[in-house]
A and B are shown apart, each in its own frame.
Chain A
Amino acid sequence: MAALLEIDGIYTTYDKADVLHGISLAVEAGTITCLLGSNGAGKTTLVRSILGLTPARAGRIIFNGIDITRLATHKIIAAGIACIPEGRKVFPKFTAEENLRVGAYQDASETIIRGRIAEIFRIFPRLAERRGQLAGTMSGGEQAMVSIGRGLMCAPKLLLIDEPSLGLSPRLVQENFNIIRQINDRGISILLVEQNVRQTLAISTRGYVLAKGRVVAAGTAAELRGQQQVREAYFG
């Protein structure tokens, strides 16, 4: 069976220098696949390449049977990918509810949008209380909820989550991982980008380790837990 997302030898360039050097990886449908690596390893660039924000200059990205390598970002989203970006990136001048609405921008049906908002409010009751509050005035934890909820609003097949624990307290980090697992239980495949190795591998099926724009280790979560390269990718 072909994987939901298949990345085949992509090279991506920033300022005329390659940041990704022939990266290949796959996300199987229904799984959580993680992408580990230290700062500057190319994790966020890989996410940006998948989303078409910084398109790959060579190689192919196949999603759900479609070649999305050079598609415009809005078409990639239409194909069924959503993203919870690094740093949450809520729209500060939108209310919590408007942030959720913009997440479902490509679904025009008001009934569907309302149903999904109600569902997000069941997962995060706190957002229901604060639906009218401007996201820019919310706490970091609340913004994380808005960002996660917004990512779910378009009912994606694949969710890219970029460094969700960045800047959150240990308690919230744990909560976040629980929520990611819940999202996966709903049948949404996840590509999780993280630096937090232990907790990430605990919920992942498979993982890849990136260093200097290359995949230096790959395997099941159990295999990666014991591997030397994983540690080296961070400390070496």
Chain B
Amino acid sequence: MIVELLAQYVMNGLMLGMMYALVAVGFTLFFGVLDVIQFSHGDVLTVGAFTALAAFVGLHTLGLGSRWLDLVVIVLAATLAMALLGMVIARYFIMPLRAAPALNTLLITLMLGTVLREAVRLFYPEGANPKPFPALLPRDAVALGAFNLRLDNVLMLAAGAGVIVGLQFVLSRTRLGLAIRAVAQDEETARTMGINFTAIVLITFAIGSAMAAFAGVMNGLYYNEINFGIGLYLGVVGFSAAIIGGLGSVYGAILGGFLFAGLQTVGAVLLPFASAYKDVFAFAVVIAIMAWRPTGLIREKISERV
């Protein structure tokens, strides 16, 4: 009984951690190339989840659709549309403000987030209410003793891990990754090497925003419900995860995401009143970590020399 419950908590923690990590990686990538915090990142996730839902509804209105076709279409629709939205945000809202104080970028991305969120609430049919999200993954379960390992959870975890491994591969092994990392270290020298700075920034925003959309679809498939506020919450958590991991570090963001989910799980298991205070607990620990290590858990190993 205890083991079964514990396994359940761990599985839930892993699912949440994966979503948080996917969001946190975006924050850290954007900060890397442009030194900005994209505060509408969470709301891009919301728009991504609703794009997926709209694609699903669209398919079924047309009378098309089977489980796997649905899945492929909604994931593609959400990630491609959010990649585009991310590029538009970078190109028309963030890059023009590069010469302005950082506070202006903070403000404009915050306001843009509100606009995206309210647009979903007002313009998506009955967007103010929670919307049911289709359960497209097989719900078969494998009984491991008293614990039921659900296939849909395993598939989602595997897909999320695949996305993160894929990103790591791109960053560490490809020419595009070399350019992204060069821009993150020193924009001007990167340009002097012949790197098209604007193109690299836009591609980075496309990648990060597509990952947020992926997390949004995961969120829908996991809870079978989405609402216009999911991105606000996941955005705050993802941002915190990126900060505790050490902003700018991809490993740090992933670590931060799973750490935050771990804290919530521990909070839910150990604290009285079960889960009511799990967020209070997790954020309190985040504050403590920030006081202990202001630059995040993954420290910069190199101080730049002049």
A143 to B189, CA, bound (A): 14
Q: Is the CB of A105 within 8 A of B195?
A: yes
Q: A85-B189, A94-B182, A105-B179 are in contact. Are A136 and B304 (CB under 8 A)?
A: yes
B-contact bits for A97-132, CB 8 A (1 contact / 0 none): 010011101101000000000000000000000000
Q: A92-B185, A105-B194, A150-B193 are in contact. Are A87 and B304 (CB under 8 A)?
A: no
Q: Is the CB of A91 within 8 A of B186?
A: yes
Q: Is the CB of B193 within 8 A of A143?
A: no
B4 at the interface (CB under 8 A from A): no
Residues facing A in B102-155 (CB within 8 A) are: none
Q: Is the CB of A92 within 8 A of B305?
A: yes
Q: Is the CB of A77 within 8 A of B194?
A: yes
Out of B182, B194, B196, B301, which one reaches A91, CB within 8 Å? Answer: B182
A6 to B48, CA, bound (A): 52
Q: Taking the nearest CB of chain A, how far is it from the CB of B246, in angstroms? A: 13
Out of A77, A98, A101, A134, which one reaches B192, CB within 8 Å? Answer: A77
A168 at the interface (CB under 8 A from B): no
A228 to B301, CA, bound (A): 50
B266 at the interface (CB under 8 A from A): no
Q: Is the CB of A92 within 8 A of B188?
A: no
A154 to B193, CA, bound (A): 9
Count how many chain A residues have C-beta atoms less than 8 Å from C-beta atoms of the other chain: 30
Chain A residues positioned under 8 Å from B193 (CB to CB): 77, 102-103, 105, 150, 154
A-contact bits for B174-185, CB 8 A (1 contact / 0 none): 010011011001
B66 at the interface (CB under 8 A from A): no
A107 to B82, CA, bound (A): 31
A203 to B192, CA, bound (A): 25
Interface size class of chain B, counting residues whose CB lies under 8 Å from the partner chain? 20 to 34
A13 to B179, CA, bound (A): 29
Q: Is the CB of A91 within 8 A of B195?
A: no
Residues facing A in B185-205 (CB within 8 A) are: 185-186, 188-197
Chain A residues positioned under 8 Å from B191 (CB to CB): 53, 73-74
Chain A residues positioned under 8 Å from B189 (CB to CB): 85, 89, 91
By beta carbon, the residue of chain A nearest B302 is A136
Q: Is the CB of A93 within 8 A of B302?
A: yes
B303 at the interface (CB under 8 A from A): yes
Chain A residues positioned under 8 Å from B195 (CB to CB): 74, 102, 105
Residues facing A in B251-306 (CB within 8 A) are: 301-306
Chain B residues positioned under 8 Å from A134 (CB to CB): 301-302
Q: Taking the nearest CB of chain B, how far is it from the CB of A47, in angstroms? A: 10
A106 to B175, CA, bound (A): 10
Q: Is the CB of A74 within 8 A of B303?
A: no
A59 at the interface (CB under 8 A from B): no
Q: Is the CB of B178 within 8 A of A85?
A: no
A142 to B35, CA, bound (A): 29
By beta carbon, the residue of chain A nearest B300 is A93
Q: Taking the nearest CB of chain A, how far is it from the CB of B164, in angstroms? A: 20
By beta carbon, the residue of chain A nearest B248 is A93
A34 to B194, CA, bound (A): 24
Out of B175, B188, B196, B301, which one reaches A108, CB within 8 Å? Answer: B175
Chain B residues positioned under 8 Å from A154 (CB to CB): 193-194
A72 at the interface (CB under 8 A from B): yes
Q: Is the CB of A53 within 8 A of B192?
A: yes
Q: Is the CB of B303 within 8 A of A136?
A: yes
Chain A residues positioned under 8 Å from B301 (CB to CB): 134, 136
Q: Is the CB of A101 within 8 A of B302?
A: no
A9 at the interface (CB under 8 A from B): no
A78 at the interface (CB under 8 A from B): yes
A105 to B183, CA, bound (A): 12
Q: Is the CB of B182 within 8 A of A89?
A: no
A169 at the interface (CB under 8 A from B): no
Q: Taking the nearest CB of chain A, how far is it from the CB of B238, in angstroms? A: 23
Q: Is the CB of B196 within 8 A of A72?
A: yes
By beta carbon, the residue of chain B nearest A92 is B302
A85 to B189, CA, bound (A): 8
A10 at the interface (CB under 8 A from B): no
Q: Is the CB of A94 within 8 A of B185?
A: yes
Chain B residues positioned under 8 Å from A94 (CB to CB): 181-182, 185
Q: Taking the nearest CB of chain B, how far is it from the CB of A206, in angstroms? A: 25
A31 to B179, CA, bound (A): 32
23 A-B Cβ contacts within 8 A?
Answer: A53-B188, A74-B191, A74-B195, A74-B196, A78-B194, A87-B306, A89-B186, A89-B192, A91-B181, A91-B189, A92-B185, A92-B305, A102-B178, A102-B182, A102-B193, A103-B193, A105-B182, A105-B195, A136-B301, A136-B303, A136-B304, A136-B305, A154-B194
5 closest pairs, A vs B, by CB?
A77-B194, A136-B302, A73-B191, A89-B189, A106-B194
- Known A-B contacts: A136-B305, A154-B193. Give 16 more (CB < 8 A): A51-B192, A73-B191, A73-B194, A74-B194, A74-B196, A87-B306, A89-B188, A91-B182, A91-B186, A92-B302, A103-B193, A105-B178, A136-B302, A143-B305, A150-B193, A167-B306
